[in-house]
């Protein structure tokens, strides 16, 4: 072994979950080392989620991460639901007294990395060949090669697996101890980022017989739009002209028109619901996408990563400062309660808004959307879930 070190928490993965965990632990005097297989510039450029629940914004502000969020984030008090050529505005403030913020995950990650730099947080970027060892003992450790190829070992009291859906942490829990519940959807999203001012004040979720479309944004100059496409669709099948034409059809509404502009990013996102349990095995704990995935329709993925980490940071604080394991013992069930609410809501929004090949299902979903668009009570329930259940 070329380099050997010891820390309190070894954090595998520098996505929003891992970086926020390191940040919250630092603030309560707990030391961690973050290990990430991608480069810093890759992590800072990755385009992903865009919506922060009120509770996530409160967490980031309380953790001293609110400066740029307060200046550049955009508060949204509702969404539009569209069905064919009917469009209704849902008022979240009226429904539940809360709102959401448009502030890209990319920006949250940049803020977290800047704070880590300022505090001298150790993050080893571009590691390879990492493996977790002895996670069910009191002496777990991680081995890997650093960016120069040197062999490294980090010993820790706890390993936090925040390495996303394709990481190594979840598989480090023996298969016999793991249960997975999942649902694949027969469609995917084609997402684009476009250099054009959003043509709407709030996000538009549109169900059209041609398929679902979502109008979102990243700033006053940049729009983020999505189209329902068949699962496994290739991005090459979609020229910019075809995308704008399809978006115009799916958002068609009484004289309203899209703003088009240069497409600066284009990708296909698979859609799945996936829940792996337990989120703790010995001294390995999972948080964020390493343990669960939701389809993006409810905008919950990033927010769940944040709420897991809040619960986990509290539990680790009690463990390290008061030798109290009660919160770490209850972490899997505390996180699961919130997770299953978000899993149901994401599934519900997804099926209601997407067009299915099955005629019976389509009629049910269209009926559900008509009901929500016409009922203040149904809208209040959607608002309560969308803006996020209280912690
Ligand atoms: P992340 O963000 O996937 O971060 C995991 C980090 O771990 C690293 N990693 C490893 N590091 C070390 N060793 C290994 N063996 C490793 N394997 C992986 C990865 O490089 C990465 O840096 O998980 P985290 O932190 O839990 O955060 C969760 C959110 O990222 C996620 O829930 C959302 O972004 C989901 N999601 C979206 N959600 C939305 O609400 N709206 C969206 O528009 C949206 N777009 C997306 C998305 C997820 C995507 N992925 C994961 C395919 C678009 C994409 C492409
Ligand atoms: C986004 O802006 O990327 C976004 C917004 C709302 C969603 C999903 C993605 O439901």
Q: Convert the pLDDT of each residue in 137-193 to its tens digit.
A: 999 999 999 999 999 999 999 999 999 999 999 999 999 999 999 999 999 999 999
Mean pLDDT for all residues in the chain: 97
Do residues 150 and 297 share a domain? yes
Do residues 208 and 259 share a domain? yes
CA atoms within 13 A of residue 107's CA, in its CB half-sphere? 21
Asked if residues 250 and 208 have their Cβ atoms less than 8 Å apart, the reply is: yes
What percentage of the chain reaches a pLDDT higher than 90?
A: 98
Examine the pLDDT at 304 and tell me if it is beyond 90. yes
Instruction: Please give the pLDDT value at position 202.
Output: 97
Gap from CA of 214 to ligand 2 centroid (Å): 8
Instruction: Region of 164 please: left (phi>0), alpha (psi -120 to 50) or beta.
Output: left
Q: Is 71 exposed, middle or buried (0-12, 13-18, 19+ CB in 10 A)?
A: exposed
Structural domains in the chain (count): 2
Do residues 192 and 262 share a domain? yes
What CATH number does the domain containing 374 carry? 3.30.9.10
Do residues 227 and 297 share a domain? no
Do residues 31 and 145 share a domain? yes
Q: Which two tokens stand for residue 240?
A: 């910019």
Round to the nearest angstrom and report the end-to-end CA distance of the chain. Answer: 43
Examine the pLDDT at 114 and tell me if it is beyond 90. yes
Does 89 map to a domain?
A: no
Does 379 map to a domain?
A: yes
3 state DSSP class of 388: coil
105 lines ligand 2 (CB under 6 A): no
Ligand 2 atom at minimal distance to the Cα of residue 296: 8
Does 84 map to a domain?
A: no
3 state DSSP class of 179: strand
Note the helical H segments in 151-265: 240-250
Asked if residues 34 and 156 have their Cβ atoms less than 8 Å apart, the reply is: no
Residues 285, 10: Cα–Cα separation, whole Å: 11
Do residues 65 and 157 share a domain? yes
Other residues' Cβ atoms within 10 Å of the Cβ of residue 236: 7
Calculate the alpha carbon distances from 367 to 17, 83, 185, 212, 350 in Å: 37, 10, 20, 15, 14
Do residues 295 and 328 share a domain? yes
Note the helical H segments in the chain: 16-27, 40-45, 54-62, 67-72, 92-96, 105-119, 240-250, 301-322, 326-353, 359-374, 376-387
Gap from CA of 48 to ligand 1 centroid (Å): 8
* Residue (of 20, 13, 19, 16) closest to 37 by Cα position: 13
Examine the pLDDT at 313 and tell me if it is beyond 90. yes
Which residue's alpha carbon is at the smallest distance from atom 40 of ligand 1?
A: 299
Query: What would the mean pLDDT of 238-247 be, rounded to a whole number?
Result: 98
Do residues 232 and 209 share a domain? yes
| Ligand 1 site residues, Cβ closer than 6 angstroms | 12-18, 35-38, 43, 48-50, 105, 130, 162-168, 269, 288-289, 296, 299, 301-302, 305
Which residue's alpha carbon is at the smallest distance from atom 52 of ligand 1?
A: 269
DSSP state of 259: P
Structural domain including 33 reads 3-75+102-181+272-349
Residues 65, 57: Cα–Cα separation, whole Å: 9
Residues tagged active-site: 76, 205, 296, 300, 386
Instruction: Please give the pLDDT value at position 391.
Output: 81
What percentage of the chain reaches a pLDDT higher than 70?
A: 100
Gap from CA of 297 to ligand 2 centroid (Å): 7
Do residues 16 and 130 share a domain? yes
Do residues 61 and 132 share a domain? yes
Asked if residues 217 and 224 have their Cβ atoms less than 8 Å apart, the reply is: yes
Residues 245, 258: Cα–Cα separation, whole Å: 10
Instruction: Please give the pLDDT value at position 255.
Output: 87
Does 136 map to a domain?
A: yes
Do residues 26 and 157 share a domain? yes
Gap from CA of 285 to ligand 2 centroid (Å): 28
Does 92 map to a domain?
A: no
Does 44 map to a domain?
A: yes
Does 83 map to a domain?
A: no
Residues 317, 14: Cα–Cα separation, whole Å: 20
Ligand 1 atom at minimal distance to the Cα of residue 167: 17
Instruction: Please give the pLDDT value at position 216.
Output: 97
Residues 211, 224: Cα–Cα separation, whole Å: 17
Model confidence pLDDT, tens digit, residues 18-29 = 999 999 999 999
Do residues 152 and 44 share a domain? yes
Does 86 map to a domain?
A: no
Query: What would the mean pLDDT of 340-368 be, rounded to a whole number?
Result: 97
Residues 162, 169: Cα–Cα separation, whole Å: 8
Concatenate the DSSP letters of all residues of 216-235 into one string. Answer: EESSSS-EEEEEEEETT--G
What CATH number does the domain containing 11 carry? 3.50.50.60
Instruction: Please give the pLDDT value at position 390.
Output: 84
Concatenate the DSSP letters of all residues of 320-362 into one string. Answer: HHH---HHHHHHHHHHHHHHHHHHHHHHHHHHHHS--S-HHHH
Model confidence pLDDT, tens digit, residues 179-202 = 999 999 999 999 999 999 999 999
Model confidence pLDDT, tens digit, residues 28-85 = 999 999 999 999 999 999 989 999 999 999 999 999 999 999 999 999 999 999 999 9
Q: What is the band of 349 on the pLDDT scale with cuts at 50, 70, 90?
A: very high
Instruction: Please give the pLDDT value at position 188.
Output: 98
């Amino acid at each position: 072994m070329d380099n050997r070190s010891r820390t309190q928490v070894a954090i595998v993965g520098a996505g929003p979950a891992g970086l926020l965990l390191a940040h919250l632990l630092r603030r309560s005097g707990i030391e961690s080392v973050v290990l990430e297989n991608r480069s810093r510039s890759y992590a800072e450029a990755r385009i992903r989620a865009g919506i922060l629940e009120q509770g996530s914004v409160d967490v980031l502000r309380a953790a001293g991460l609110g400066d740029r969020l307060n200046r550049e984030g955009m508060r949204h008090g509702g969404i539009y639901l569209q069905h064919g050529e009917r469009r209704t505005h849902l008022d979240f403030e009226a429904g539940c007294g809360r709102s959401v913020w448009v502030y890209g995950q990319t920006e949250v990650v940049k803020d977290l990395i800047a704070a880590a730099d300022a505090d001298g947080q150790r993050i080893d970027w571009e590691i390879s060949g990492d493996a977790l060892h002895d996670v069910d003992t009191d002496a777990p450790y991680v081995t890997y090669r650093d960016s120069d190829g040197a062999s490294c070992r980090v010993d820790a009291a706890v390993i936090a697996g925040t390495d996303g859906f394709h990481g190594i942490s979840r598989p480090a829990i023996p298969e016999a101890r793991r249960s997975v519940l999942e649902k694949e959807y027969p469609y995917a999203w084609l997402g684009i980022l476009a250099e054009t001012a959003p043509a709407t004040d709030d996000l538009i979720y549109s169900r059209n017989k041609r398929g679902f479309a979502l109008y979102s944004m990243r700033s006053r100059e940049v729009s983020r739009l999505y189209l329902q496409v068949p699962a496994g669709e290739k991005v090459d099948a979609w020229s910019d002209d075809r995308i704008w034409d399809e978006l115009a059809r799916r958002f068609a509404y009484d004289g309203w028109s899209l703003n088009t502009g240069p497409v600066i990013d284009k990708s296909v996102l698979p859609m799945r619901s996936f829940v792996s349990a337990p989120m703790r095995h010995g001294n390995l704990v999972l948080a964020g996408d390493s343990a669960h995935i939701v389809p993006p329709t409810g905008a919950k993925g990033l927010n769940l990563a944040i709420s897991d980490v809040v619960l986990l940071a509290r539990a680790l604080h009690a463990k390290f400062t008061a030798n109290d394991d009660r919160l770490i013992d209850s972490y899997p069930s505390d996180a699961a309660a919130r997770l299953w609410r978000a899993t149901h809501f994401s599934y519900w929004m997804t099926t209601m808004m997407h067009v299915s090949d099955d005629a019976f299902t389509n009629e049910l979903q269209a009926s559900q959307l008509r009901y929500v668009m016409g009922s203040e009570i149904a809208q209040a329930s959607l608002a309560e879930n969308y803006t996020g259940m209280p912690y």
